[in-house]
Every structure is written in structure tokens, then in C-alpha cells.
Structure 1
Amino acid sequence: MAGRGKKAGGKKKANGYKMPAPIPVGEVINDTLMNKKWKIGPSIGVGGFGEIYSASAGSPRKSANNYPYVVKIEPHENGPLFVEKHFYIKNANKEDISKFMQSKKLSSLGMPTYFGNGSHDFQGEKYRYLVLERYGKDVWTLFNECDRSFPTTTVFQLGLQMLDVLEYIHSRDYVHADIKGANILMGLKKGTENQAYLVDFGLASRVNDKEFKPDPKCAHNGTIEYTSRDAHLGVPTMRGDLEILGYNMLQWIVGELPWEKSLKEPKTVQSMKENFMKNPKANITKQYPDVPNALIQFFEYINTLKPKDIPDYTKCREIFESYLKSEGKTRQSKIEFIKSKNTKPVKNTDKELEPKNSLKKVVVRRRGRLAKAKSPESDNCENEQPADIAETVKTKKRKSTEPHVDVTIKKTKMPPKATPPVKKNHKNTATQTSVEKPKRRVSFDLPEKDKDSSQEVNSSVDIFDDSQEIEEKKVKRRRRLLNTKIVTVNRVVRKKTTARNKTSDTPATANGRSPK
């Protein structure tokens, strides 16, 4: 048997389980118990015990997305799928799940149903298989895609759904013992996108009715970062399932558990968890001040339970639901894994109720543009006009019963800006056009700096009366000031010039423009 397994390509993993040989797409599994034929599709994952394939009942499908089932396959030598198969046979009956949902008034429950199981021979190797419904992404993948942090309300929504599943499992005298993001899958069918399903019951076991006694052979079973204190001692319990859920929720909020750097040392992790749970309020408040008090209350309640106690699921749900209510959410709210960009809520409730295209926002934008236009630091103000204009801004038609409001925005009157002094050989390219004009030479009288200067001044037949000079003059500001103190400002005055008949080869510029 072992030789045939090697020939088929099976290899043992580090945990001692032998992996099955790859099953080709289109392989048919004859289910004699359910009288069905399951056709294997593309592989969608590899677990610690075997491989998971997409599957269909009937003719093969073209795309893996059209396969509504999954088939979990492991060699007969392994054991986890054997445990899981028998758990599903006893506890995943549709009628039992439906009765529980009716008694708890639940519209959905994250307990998967199974559709078939049996044995299958492939290339001389005997395999065990289990057929389940296909689900979407697992929470661990989503957690990593969201930079290892979920919105706090999403964490408590997932916690509520897991409490429902755990209550159902515990009512059947079973514990899961391996709750983690990789074993929580989101619904794939239409209408189940917001429902999380707890899968992988390979470590599920019946509740031990005997006296609580540590079992070294089963010590540290499960996924080490989430293993409960009871499971570290080798005894899985109902309160241990709640503790495991609490560790997951803490990680989903803060991103990392305090003992994640010591996972290779199970006893060290066990000791750190014991110290953490001695005073969860002080430890969480000190290390993670942003964690809601509701999660601290959940840990404190777990500490009140004895090993054989049945948890009060109603009380736990009330703790989670009270927090969601304080955040304006319910368990039926849409689950959002990506945090909102606006992390800080607006305290003013009136602002939250305003429509996106509100009148107030329009006015603010208009004012922003006007303020920019009136900036005294603007250099390109040559063609600026006084802004003595009144504009009326009207809101768009809304389907609201609120009255229609018209708001008039007046622009402050602004005096015209002075044209800067003429610069030698300066060309303002912003005022030039693409049409070439006939070249002409224009000159103007320059201000006389020295009466005795013998330098000749250029001129032409074309005369413009806008040559300017800066004259310093003391004036009072027209605007109302806090005092009547006289200030000194530069005032632009116009000076007439006379033309001279002499021309020059060098073209002059006026008002910052080229006459070409």
C-alpha cells in the first residue's frame, strides 16, 4: 500500500500526513451512498491533510467559478478527514440546522452542510473524500488583503455569527477547537455574501463528561496562536472555544497578538496567555488602548466560567450587540472589511445629513476662487478687471421636502492693478498671439534722469499715452481702519509724452508688451 502510494506521487508533510497524488480535472467519483456522480474540477487549495478540489454534480463545467461544490480528498492513511466526515454525518443534517435556526429566530447560520462522502480509488491508491458546499474567500486572506486590520464593527459582526455556530455545535455536545480566519469562509451564493461559515472540523471532539484532567498527549493541539488555555493542557472545552474566538477578534482589531513572536515555543505561549488572562482589562488597556471595552467584558466573562460550564450565549451576544448599537450598526448590517477613509466621525450631526451637492459647499468653493483672484501677490494681473459682479448660485432640484433656497454671492469691488514698469528687452509671451503682424519700431521718451544728459531718446510716429511713472504720495485708505494713521502707498500717475522723429534699430517695449 505504501509502495503504491509513492508511485502515485503521494508525499508526507512535516505533520506526518501523506498528501494525495494530483487528481486530474474531469475525474469522476461514483457516490454509491448518495447515488450521485461528482466530477472533479480545478484544485482550489491544499490543507494540512489533503487537497481540496472544486466539483460539480453532472456534466463538467468550463470555469472553476461554475462549480458549486468542493471535494476534500485525503489518503486513507490520514485521519482528520475521517473525524470531519463523521462530524458532518451526525451534525450537519439540513433538518437539524433548520430547527435550530427557527428556535433562535435566525435568518441564516454559518454551519455548512455536506452532500456526500465515501472512498475513491485512483492510480492504485485509496482515497477518502467529503463533498461540501463551495464558499468564497476565507477571513484570513481578507485580513491580509486589508493590511491586517478590520473595522471594529466588522469584527463584532463576525463574532456574533461565530457565537451562533458555536452554540449549535455545543448543543450537539461537540467543540470545534480550531477557530481561526483560515477556517471561516464568506458565503458565495447570492444573498449569503454577508454570512460567515465555520468549516474544517478535523479537530472537533465530543465534550468530555469526565473530571477535568490535563492530557499531555493532546497538549497544545490546534493552531498555537489561538489555542485556549484548556487546550494547551490537552482538554478542549466550550469555554475554550469562546477564548479562541476572543483571541481571533483581538488580532483582527490590533493586527498582532502579544505572543506571536514566540509561536515556536508552545509552553512560552501558554505562559503568556495565562498572564494575559489573569487581568485582561489591564493588559489590553495598557497595550491596546483603542480596543473597545466590549471585548474586555467578553474576556472577563470567560474567566468566570468553569471548565464544564455551558456558556451563556445570550449574554455574550448582548455584549457584542450593545457595542454595534453604539456605533450605529446591527448584526444585519453589511459586513465591510476595508476601513473607511474618514476614520474620524463628524460630531456635528447637521453636517452628516447634508446632501453631497449642498448649497453650503458650493458657496465655499466660490469663495475660495474669489480669494485666490484677489491675492495681492499675483504678478499676472495685467488684464484683470474690477470684480463688481453679483452672481446667484442655485441648488439643483432635489427630491426633498425642504424649501428651495437661493443664495446671492457678491464679489468685493477691487481697484484695478497697476501695470508694472517697463523693463528693457522684455517680452510678455502670455499676451502674444499666433498670428504674425507686420513688424514696426516704436519708441517712447524715457524719464529724464539728468537734464544735462546728451543721450538721444528713441521715438516713432506711433504714440501711446500710457507711459507711466511711480510717484510717491501720502493718502488715506478708503477702507475703515482700526485707527486713522496715515500710511505711505505707491500711486500710479499718467505722464504724457511727446514724439520725436528720430528712430532706432532697437525695438522698445511698453506696458510689458512687445509692439511686434
Structure 2
Amino acid sequence: MDLRVGKKYRIGRKIGSGSFGDIYLGTNIISGEEVAIKLENTKAKHPQLEYEAKVYKALSGGVGIPFVRWYGTECDYNAMVIDLLGPSLEDLFNYCNRKFTYKTVLLLADQLICRIEYIHARCFIHRDIKPDNFLMGIGRRGSQVNVIDFGLAKKYRDPRTHLHIPYRENKNLTGTARYASVNTHLGIEQSRRDDLESLGYVLIYFCRGSLPWQGLKAATKRQKYDRIMEKKMATPNNILCKGLPGEFWMPQQQIQSQQQQQQLAAQQKSSAPQLQQYSDQRLQNQRAMYQPSQSYAANPKAQQPPAQTQGGNPAWL
């Protein structure tokens, strides 16, 4: 059967899947160009493909942002036709026996920081930074890293006024627990720093081959998330980044100081109530940090990220 979407895109074999839909190899029957087609059942409990297509459109034109050729509904499916890309960074990591050289990690980091910086400059946060969501290009763009899967992306500030979204607590965990920030585990509304903390975990994962909180077992998903959070909070930077160049320490220290981490490690060894006390104190600290300053409201352009980075780290950290 010749299945098509958008009148000119023929659906081929399945090449991937995710929590929100399946991805198929497609072909433009006029030009012969291969594309990727993402399908989502219109009866899905939480449909998000239309929203994802709108985010791609809002980000269009950026380096490493796939181009959406068509979006619409065909029969019982929402369909999005997008650039066909190559393997994910997770695929390449496995292909390389789960070991990247420092040079490879740094070259990837340079591109990943630029991609996230661009997304943030367009007033969005990704909220699911992980190796599976970064794909290499194909052909002449085979060395270019591309960002995908914007179904969980969210605007963190108003594009016109640059007013930041309000601080909130008791939020459900959004994203992938392995790479989620500590604040995300604590239920704090995500912002730019959470994307960056997740990126830090990704880069350390590439250097180490694994993260200390992988492989934890629990009876329920909620209990597993809690165990991952506790392990993250109890792992000081000198353990997480052991054996790595000093540059890998800096982003993590800017997000959560080594002194707090070491203090928490000692508290957790003594008793669980002290861990809760630390979490409560961290929430109070974040409330204070999250409030926009008066200068931000008076001069929103002063808070915009610059186009370049300095010293290997985003200048806007």
C-alpha cells in the first residue's frame, strides 16, 4: 500500500520511536529526497506533535535545528515531515565502545553549548537534554550536531517583554531522570540553568562511560526517581568529576557549589531527616535566586545571551 502524507511524502520503513510517536523513513515523490516522518495517533492521551512542530517553526533558521517541511493530519494520525538526520550521540557512544576521547567530548561540547545557547536566545528551554536527542547530520553536514525532540520544550520568558516565568514548586519531573537537574528532582520550575546542568551530566557521562546514579533499583518509578535524586545530591563534584580536567568542574560548580555537595554527603550519612532539611533549605535559596531583579525589568536586553562564548564556557552563565 502506498501511504502518503502531505500529498507528496511517501511513508517507508520505521526507523525510530519515542514516548510520543514513531518515526519513519519518507521520500519526496517529486524530488526523490529522503526525509523523516513522525507520526502520532490523533487519539493519543497527550498529543504533542502539533506543539512540537510550532516550536521547530519558532526556532527555524538556527544551525542544527531541523527544518519542518510539512505538518498536518492524515486519517487517524498527526504527521510531521522533517529533515532526515544521522545517528544520535548515544548511538555513536555505543559504537565507540562507550568511550569518547577528551578531544571528541570537547568538540561536541562546543557545538552543544551553541545549540542550547541559541534555543535559550529564542526564549525556549529544552527540558530533555540527553544524548538521544542530539543527532549528527548526513552528507555534507555529517559533522554537525542537531537538536531534536522539542515536545517538552517550554518558553521561559516572554519574547517581547523578556519577563521570566514565575518561580513555582511541586512540579512533576519533566525530562529524563538520569540527566535531570537537582532542582527538577526537587519539583522547582525549570529554567536555563537546568538545561545546562543536564548538559554537564551528559558531558561527564561521555567522559566516564556512566553516571554514579545509573542502575539504581526501586519498586516504583517514583521511588527510583527519589533514589536518583538522593544519589545526585550526595555525590560531590570531586567524585563526579574524578580524573577529569578542571574545565569539567566549572559548570557544575556554578550550578551547585562543591561545598554544598560535600556538606550534603555528610548529612545523608548521618540521617534521612537531615537530607530533607537540606532539600528544604535549597528550596528557600532557590526562591530568593529566582526572583528577577529590578534592573532586569528595566533593561531586559541586558539579560540576553551574547552570540559567542568565552573560555570554553557560555559567557551568559
Question: How does the TM-score come out when normalised to structure 2?
Answer: 0.74
Separation of aligned partners in 2, 1:80 and 1:159? 29
For 1:300 and 1:312, locate their aligned partners in 2 and report how far apart those are by CA, in whole Å.
Answer: 20
Contact kept, 8 Å, 1:41 with 1:60, in 2: the verdict is no
List aligned pairs for 1:351-500, cutoff 5 A: none
Q: Distance in 2 between matches of 1:313 and 1:151?
A: 29
Q: 1:221 and 1:230 mapped to 2: Cα distance?
A: 11
In the alignment, is residue 171 of structure 1 matched against residue 121 of structure 2? yes
After superposing the two structures, state which structure 1 stretch, 305-314 or 223-232, moved more: 305-314
Q: Deviations over 1:366-396 (max 9, x none)?
A: xxxxxxxxxxxxxxxxxxxxxxxxxxxxxxx
Distance in 2 (CA, whole Å) between partners of 1:258 and 1:80 is 32
Q: Could you say which residue in structure 1 is the equivalent of 2:55?
A: 87
What amino acid is the match of 1:146?
C
- What does residue 3 of structure 2 align with? 27
Listed as ranges, the matches of 1:182-197 within 5 Å are 182-190=132-140, 192-197=141-146
How many residues are aligned here? 260
CA distance in 1: counterparts of 2:100 and 2:165, whole angstroms: 40
Distance 1:144 1:184, change over 3 A: same
How far apart are the structure 2 equivalents of 1:311 and 1:162?
A: 19
Give the match's secondary structure for 1:143: helix
Determine the structure 2 residue equivalent to 1:57: 28
Write the distance in 2 (CA, Å) between the matches of 1:275 and 1:151: 27
What residue in structure 2 maps to residue 376 of structure 1?
none
> 8 Å contact 1:54–1:69 — kept in the other structure?
yes
Change (3 A) 1:319 1:90: closer
Residue 143 (structure 2) pairs with residue 215 (structure 1): no
Give the Cα separation in 2 of the matches to 1:152 and 1:293.
Answer: 12
Q: Give the match's secondary structure for 2:117.
A: helix
2:178 equivalent in structure 1: 225
Residue 13 (structure 2) aligned to one of 29, 38, 42: 42
Aligned mates of 2:74, 2:132 — CA distance in 1 = 27
Task: Name the SS of the counterpart of 1:257 in structure 2.
Answer: coil
Structure-1 separation of matches of 2:291 and 2:50: 27
**Distance across 2 between alignment mates of 1:81 and 1:317:** 36
Deviation for aligned residue 1:244: 0.5
SS at match of 1:223: coil
Distance 2:308 2:93 in 1: 27
Residue 299 of structure 1 is aligned with which of 252, 256, 280?
Answer: 252
Distance 1:56 1:156, change over 3 A: same
Q: Residue by residue, what CA displacement relative to the aligned partner does 1:32-67 show, whole Å, maximum 9, x if unpaired?
A: xxxx62111222112212111111222596xxxxx5
Encode CA deviations 1:452-491: one digit per residue, 9 max, x unaligned: xxxxxxxxxxxxxxxxxxxxxxxxxxxxxxxxxxxxxxxx
Q: What secondary structure is seen at the aligned counterpart in 2 of 1:56? A: strand
Task: Give 1:90 deviation, angstroms.
Answer: 2.2
Mapped contact 2:39–2:78 kept (Cα < 8 A) = yes
Q: One-letter code of the match for 1:85?
A: A
Look up the equivalent residue of 1:200 and give its one-letter code. D
Q: Any gaps of 5 or more consecutive residues in structure 1?
A: 1-23, 62-66, 98-108, 322-516
Q: Deviation at 1:158?
A: 1.1
Q: 1:148 to 1:313 in 2, by over 3 A?
A: farther
Higher helix share: 2
Residue 153 of structure 1: aligned partner: 103
Offset, 1:197: 0.4
Instruction: Give the distance between the partners of 2:196 and 2:92, measured in 1 at CA.
Output: 22
Give the CA deviation at 1:319.
2.7
**1:138-179 residue CA offsets vs partner (Å, 9 max, x unmatched):** 111111121211111111111111111111111111100111
What is the CA-CA distance between 1:284 and the residue it aligns to?
A: 3.2
Shift in alpha-carbon separation, 1:40–1:89, aligned structure 2, 3 A: same
- Deviation per CA, 1:421-464, whole angstroms, max 9, x where unpaired? xxxxxxxxxxxxxxxxxxxxxxxxxxxxxxxxxxxxxxxxxxxx
Equivalent position to 1:271, from 205, 217, 230: 230
The code of the aligned residue for 1:284 comes to: L
1:284 lines up with 2:240 in the alignment: yes
Distance in 2 separating the partners of 1:210 and 1:244: 20
1:257 maps to a residue whose letter is L
Q: For 2:40, which of 65, 74, 77 is the aligned residue?
A: 74
Tell me the SS of whatever aligns to 2:252.
helix
Would you say the 8 A contact 2:167–2:188 is kept in 1? Answer: no
Letter of the structure 2 residue corresponding to residue 134 of structure 1: L
Match of 2:197 among 224, 230, 243: 243
CA 319–311 in structure 1, closer or farther in 2 if over 3 Å, else same: farther
Q: Is the 8 A contact 2:49 2:78 kept in 1?
A: yes
What TM-score results when the alignment is normalised by the length of structure 1? 0.47
Are the counterparts in 1 of residues 110 and 312 from structure 2 also a CA contact under 8 Å? no
Deviation digits for residues 57-114 of structure 1, max 9, x if unmatched?
A: 22596xxxxx52111000113323232122123222x3xx3xxxxxxxxxxx222221
Determine the structure 2 residue equivalent to 1:461.
none
Larger Rg computed on CA atoms: 1
Corresponding position of 1:131: 81
Q: Distance in 2 between matches of 1:229 and 1:200?
A: 22
Deviation at 1:181, TM superposition (A): 1.2
Partner SS state of residue 39, structure 2: strand
